[in-house]
Structure 1
Amino acid sequence: MNEPEAVSNAPVEPVAPPHVRIRPEWLALRSEPALEPALPIIDAHHHLWELPDKVYRVADLLDDMSGGHDIRATVFIECKTHYDTNAPAGFEALGEVRFACDEARKAQAAGARAKVAAAVVANADLLLGDKARPVLERMLDVSDARVRGIRNIAVWHADPSVRASAATPPQGLLTDRRFREGFRHLAPLGLSFDAWLVHTQIDELCALAAAFPDTHIVLNHAGSPLALGPYRGHRDEVVDAWRTGVTALSRYHNVSMKLGGFGMPLFGFDFQEQPLPPNSQTLANAIRPYVETCIDAFGATRCMFESNFPVDKGCFSYSILWNAYKRITAGIPDGERAALFHDTAAGFYRIGAT
């Protein structure tokens, strides 16, 4: 695959922070009206949090969503906020589930048209093995079945200069026997799995999908082709290796793909280094090869767009991102566009009429 060496003896470059700092005054330098404002959208991946160094609550999300796009529903993704430190071991993430559901109710009380957190993807430590089942069952109970899936971040790389996530999972998480003991309880409980890993790990997800063909899996952030550490400056080689992995993964029909995450440093676009935020055409031009490769491999009915807000908010505004997605897909049939923007996410996460 002519991929660059993963580990080098060269001095390690400074480790980049996993999120780009949000600068509202910089984002305000670029605005656009919403293109095709009547196109229904489900935002298949966003976060809400209240952390020591940053806050993003439902009021912030609704403000970002106020740019004119027809956001019908959203999917909340775990981000290790509001954990219940008084809960029994393994049950701490129930606090985050309660927080997400409370935020959803606040959006409804505020009269929001969008069903915020219509589906919740929670965190349950599947390394608990069979002991994960009572945790999963309790999550379904406290969320009135709003919990539709589980995410355990698997991002790992041997090179310390390749820091794609703030999470620090062990090497080979998806192949761990205890993890798979926990994973096997998802499908019987009607739960899907959100996977996040980088492109050098896609073969691990292929093996997991093959071992559990009845479990619905979605890969976050387009499979995260790396542009950090030894991969910086090797975009063509990385894309070739990533495309090979994506094509192999698409052969497992229980796997879908989320298209987004392009504001994370791991992609190496460095939009935040420019004097002005990108407009939607510039953004579309940059991300088009990744979006189109995934759609070509998986088909529109197994791809869904995500905002990844507020993580990606450091690089572009919410409205400009959705304009970019609309520009990229302008030439494809209406039915396929409906799948990408709404229907695939609605089916995968079992979101009712919006």
Structure 2
Amino acid sequence: MVAASPHFKVRTDWLQQVREEVIDPGQPIFDCHHHLWDRPEGRYRAAELAEDVHDGHDIRASLYVQCRTGYLEEGPEAMRPLGEVYTILDWCQAQPFLPVGIVAFADLQLGDAVRPVLDALTAAGNGRIVGVRNTTAWHPDPVVRSNPRPAPEGLLRTRSFLEGARAVAEAGLCLDIWAYQNQLAEVLALARAVPELNIVLDHCGGPLGIGPCRMDDPDSFADWRNALADLAAEPNVMIKIGGFGLSVMGYRYADAACPPQSDRLADDWRPHVETCLDLFGSGRAMFESNFPVDKGQFSYRTLWNSFKRLASGCDAWDRDNLFWRTAARCYGIDETVFTT
């Protein structure tokens, strides 16, 4: 049985209480991490995505990341994630760059046997399959949960996962990893074991603010930063900056009478964002929306205004890296989408 959603409920009326002017509307953006679904707790398909991305910021393209949408209900279990690719391409056929690429699911616990699954996904994607992601985030405290189907403990350490990761690298795909800060040593071991694999660490590497980890605990922050520094020393690891609306991060903007404004968000997130930039630099870091997961806490327009505030001290090259260039290079997206 699948547990209830751990995400904050999206309340359109609540979000509409804050309507900021768009900061730097000419900045091209590649939203390199969002989901699409049609679930009992809410719908976020092509129309809802388009409503957000066309709300003032210059979103040129987006990247869909797996979330168990539209799996096939029959056939071999390993091949059922093909349904997600078919579903997303069907939903978004009128929007060729939304998404321009797909990070799909293939069970890396299959080890070498995942190769035909990767081939099938690539064929189904018509050139849009650029990466793979598995459900890997795990913490011993059951309060720390960001997925309706939590991963088993130790998944990233298994020999079969390592073999599957090598297959991903040989297929020319990236591996997105969503791991909490307590798992970063496991990600480090994987990065060192498969140096030819491009690893993209989602959501700032999973800093935690619930359960045994308090947001105001300097020791917890130091543990996250130190583990992230080890990962940043590996040239095959990149990082996505975002995910601050996830309940496990510890922010409770959704509890307030009004949604937060971008200056508040920028101030709150600055320590984590500056740490990511100090360690990885703009050439290996990229901003992400993580919508609609994060939409329960702030609007799309406010989110990108926050990132623009946080990048205001960067020069034009670094800003472009953070907003589109790094992600485009990482996932092999034609840069002319953002420059013409």
- Under a length normalisation based on structure 1, what TM-score does the superposition of the two structures give? 0.92
The reply to whether residue 92 of structure 1 matches residue 80 of structure 2 is yes
Separation in 2 of the partners of 1:266 and 1:104?
30
Preserved CA contact (<8 Å) 1:16 1:163: no
Q: How does 1:148-297 map to 2 (within 5 A)?
A: 148-232=130-214, 234-297=216-279
Aligned to 2:17: 29
Following superposition, the deviation at residue 51 of structure 1 comes to 2.2
Correspondent of 1:50 among 38, 62, 85 = 38
Preserved CA contact (<8 Å) 1:198 1:225: yes
Preserved CA contact (<8 Å) 2:7 2:146: no
Following superposition, the deviation at residue 167 of structure 1 comes to 2.8
Following superposition, the deviation at residue 52 of structure 1 comes to 3.5
Q: In structure 1, give the amino acid aligned to 2:233.
A: R
Q: How does 1:329-340 map to 2 (within 5 A)?
A: 329-340=311-322
Following superposition, the deviation at residue 186 of structure 1 comes to 0.9
Correspondent of 1:139 among 121, 129, 132 = 121
Report how many aligned residue pairs link the two structures. Answer: 334
Following superposition, the deviation at residue 304 of structure 1 comes to 0.4
Specify whether residues 213 and 343 from structure 1 end up closer, same or farther in structure 2 by C-alpha distance, changes over 3 A only. Answer: same
Separation in 2 of the partners of 1:56 and 1:132?
30
Aligned to 1:69: 57
Q: In structure 2, give the amino acid aligned to 1:187.
A: A
Q: Could you say what secondary structure the match of 2:9 adopts?
A: coil
Separation in 2 of the partners of 1:178 and 1:35?
46
Deviations 1:237-269 (A, max 9, x none): 211111101111100100000000000111111
Aligned to 1:314: 296
Separation in 2 of the partners of 1:331 and 1:122?
35
Aligned to 1:300: 282
Deviations 1:54-104 (A, max 9, x none): 211010011011221110110000000100011212000000011122233
Q: In structure 2, give the amino acid aligned to 1:308.
A: N
Q: In structure 1, give the amino acid aligned to 2:297.
A: C
Preserved CA contact (<8 Å) 2:34 2:63: yes
Following superposition, the deviation at residue 17 of structure 1 comes to 5.0
Preserved CA contact (<8 Å) 2:208 2:215: no
Deviations 1:38-65 (A, max 9, x none): 0010001000112233211010011011
Question: Where has structure 1 moved over 6 Å in runs of 4 or more?
Answer: none
Q: Could you say what secondary structure the match of 2:212 adopts?
A: helix
Aligned to 2:331: 349
Following superposition, the deviation at residue 164 of structure 1 comes to 3.0
Q: In structure 1, give the amino acid aligned to 2:79.
A: F
The reply to whether residue 104 of structure 1 matches residue 86 of structure 2 is no
Task: Give the superposed CA RMSD.
Answer: 1.3
Q: Which segments of 5 or more consecutive residues in structure 2 lack a partner in the other structure?
A: none
Correspondent of 2:8 among 20, 24, 28 = 20
Preserved CA contact (<8 Å) 2:18 2:261: yes
Preserved CA contact (<8 Å) 1:155 1:167: no
Separation in 2 of the partners of 1:44 and 1:186?
19
The reply to whether residue 130 of structure 1 matches residue 118 of structure 2 is no
Separation in 2 of the partners of 1:144 and 1:178?
28
Separation in 1 of the partners of 2:79 and 2:42?
24
Q: In structure 1, give the amino acid aligned to 2:62.
A: T
Specify whether residues 235 and 18 from structure 1 end up closer, same or farther in structure 2 by C-alpha distance, changes over 3 A only. Answer: farther
Following superposition, the deviation at residue 228 of structure 1 comes to 1.3
Preserved CA contact (<8 Å) 1:33 1:67: no
Separation in 1 of the partners of 2:132 and 2:326?
18
Following superposition, the deviation at residue 168 of structure 1 comes to 1.8
Which deviates more from structure 2 when the two are superposed, residues 179-188 or residues 215-224?
A: 179-188
Q: In structure 2, give the amino acid aligned to 1:92.
A: R
Specify whether residues 171 and 33 from structure 1 end up closer, same or farther in structure 2 by C-alpha distance, changes over 3 A only. Answer: same
Following superposition, the deviation at residue 233 of structure 1 comes to 5.5
Following superposition, the deviation at residue 16 of structure 1 comes to 9.2
Specify whether residues 165 and 204 from structure 1 end up closer, same or farther in structure 2 by C-alpha distance, changes over 3 A only. Answer: same
Deviations 1:105-158 (A, max 9, x none): 1324xxxxxx11111000000101111100000000011121010001211111
Separation in 2 of the partners of 1:92 and 1:125?
10
